[in-house]
Amino acid sequence: MAGERETSVAKQAIAVFHPGTQHSWQTARALHELDRLAFYATSILRQPGQWPYVLEGLPGALGRTFAAEFRRFDAAGLAGKLDDDQLRVGGKTEWVERLTARLGLARLAERIDHWGNGHWQGRLADDIHSDRQFALWGYNNSADVAFALGKQAGRTAILDRTIGDPRAYNRDMAMLETSYGDWFLNPGKQASDREIDRAVAEHELADHILVGCEFAKETLAEFEGPAVAAKTRVLEYGFDAAHFAALPTPSPAPKGAPVRFLFVGLGIPRKGIHHVLEAIARLPANEASLTVVGAMGVPERMLASYRERVHFTGSLPRNQIPEIMAQHDVLLFPTYFEGGGIVLYEALVSGMALIQSDRAAHAVTPDTGIMLQRPDTDLLVDAMQAAISDRDRLAHWRSNAQAAAGRYTFGAYRGRMAQFLQDAGI
């Protein structure tokens, strides 16, 4: 009997919940393929033919706009792969928060996010208090209520923390603002006391904490101490195979053409966008070009002098990113504060070399690019010059990129997850 009980506990199902997206759908899919998914609860998952996704069918530009937005949440058809009792989709607060943020009402969006995440978790109360046996897998800033309910029901709580500790973020951004304050769209904006309190509660309630890189793990150890450090483990994420499948072998830039540099993501100081723009301005146009993909989160006055030199695309649907990456040589990622950096894995599988800082997942190797000792314009220029001056070295980096990406496939992520569950006895 004891052996049967141990086997049952070791193979218990897991409920994944997130009010938005992050990589939660990949987690749910991996658990589903491991035959370990109890259910997946979210408020945003594209379900063609259902509200609000039917708006994709509107005629003209409006329908195309809705389609581009909704396809960001397609999740590789996950909804169609789960049984009816394995999927919980509901709650409108996340959409309200996103609309409010798009309108530029950042403080209101933050309040809606805080209230909505707590309220949304309450929708899981009946499941959590049921007799059904499962563990909980939640995400930072949206797991404290569910974890507290889970403790009452004797459930194991797994926190997937997708970014470093908010107190470390506040410290690092305050330091950055002293030297690059003009680049901040919202000077003095910090992680709120409410966010910090929620993070502390989640860290305490969690039985296991997962982060995407060593940097994020170190921030938790620094601010929470040995008890939290002891239950924190790095579980590297993976790229979306549905969007990055069957990519061709990378082809070099035409002889005599500039090296094609690329930045993908929200253009904010935290991600080092100021270093990227300062660096390209120091390099001759016949040697280097730069494309920036993503919304810009810096004052417009700071961009004016770069617009003739840099191609800013704005935000694009995720299904367009692979093609853009395949047309570039080197991804620039001089970030200050990350929880992982999935864009690094996407660049590798697209055949790109990497120039990155050490404040994210250490995806780069000597065979695929350059690791910066810290986010810094001078260091970034030197690294870019290395790619420009030695095209054979650049070709070597790119020729090794797709093989290196094998570590970050969905199958590899699923394997790491299975190993974690085995090690944790879940």
**Residue 8: what pLDDT?**
41
Interval 265-322: pLDDT, tens = 999 999 999 999 999 999 999 999 999 999 999 999 999 999 999 999 999 887 789 9
Q: Same structural domain for residues 184 and 313?
A: no
Q: Same structural domain for residues 350 and 220?
A: no
Residue 249 located in a structural domain: no
In terms of Cα–Cα distance, which of 148, 106, 109, 107 is closest to 129? 148
Task: Give residue 235's region: left, alpha or beta (phi > 0; psi -120 to 50).
Answer: beta
**Residue 82: what pLDDT?**
74
Quickly count: other Cβ atoms within 10 Å of residue 172's Cβ: 16
**Residue 5: what pLDDT?**
36
Can you name the residues that pair with 388 across neighbouring β-strands? Answer: none
**Residue 81: what pLDDT?**
73
Q: Tell me how far apart the alpha carbons of residues 210 and 228 are, in angstroms, rounded to a whole number.
A: 11
| Domain coverage including residue 388 | 259-408
Q: Same structural domain for residues 415 and 395?
A: no
* Domain count within the chain: 2
**Residue 2: what pLDDT?**
40
Q: Same structural domain for residues 178 and 287?
A: no
Residue with tokens 């090690």: 423
Task: Give the single-character DSSP code of 183.
Answer: G
Q: Which residues of the chain have pLDDT under 70?
A: 1-10, 20-22, 44-57, 62-80, 90-122, 246
Q: Tell me how far apart the alpha carbons of residues 212 and 162 are, in angstroms, rounded to a whole number.
A: 6
Residue 253 located in a structural domain: no
In terms of Cα–Cα distance, which of 142, 140, 164, 139 is closest to 338? 164
> Residues with Cβ < 8 Å from 419, sequence gap 6 or more?
none
Residue 245 located in a structural domain: no
Residue 252 located in a structural domain: no
**Residue 3: what pLDDT?**
41
Q: Same structural domain for residues 198 and 336?
A: no
Q: Tell me how far apart the alpha carbons of residues 22 and 304 are, in angstroms, rounded to a whole number.
A: 32
In terms of Cα–Cα distance, which of 98, 83, 85 is closest to 43? 98
Residue 129 located in a structural domain: yes
Quickly count: other Cβ atoms within 10 Å of residue 356's Cβ: 28
First to last CA, the chain: 18
Residue 254 located in a structural domain: no
Q: Same structural domain for residues 136 and 210?
A: yes
In terms of Cα–Cα distance, which of 284, 25, 9 is closest to 156? 9
Torsion angle defined by CA atoms of residues 270, 416, 262 and 387, in that order, rounded to the nearest 10 degrees? 110
**Residue 80: what pLDDT?**
62
Domain with 301 in it: what CATH number?
3.40.50.2000
**Residue 71: what pLDDT?**
58
Q: Same structural domain for residues 206 and 284?
A: no
Residue 24 located in a structural domain: yes
Q: Same structural domain for residues 276 and 215?
A: no
Q: Same structural domain for residues 220 and 278?
A: no
Q: Same structural domain for residues 33 and 165?
A: yes
> Residues with Cβ < 8 Å from 83, sequence gap 6 or more?
none
Q: Same structural domain for residues 55 and 193?
A: yes
Interval 368-384: pLDDT, tens = 999 999 999 999 999 99
In terms of Cα–Cα distance, which of 258, 307, 16 is closest to 159? 16
Q: Same structural domain for residues 190 and 291?
A: no
Residue 200 located in a structural domain: yes
**Residue 175: what pLDDT?**
97
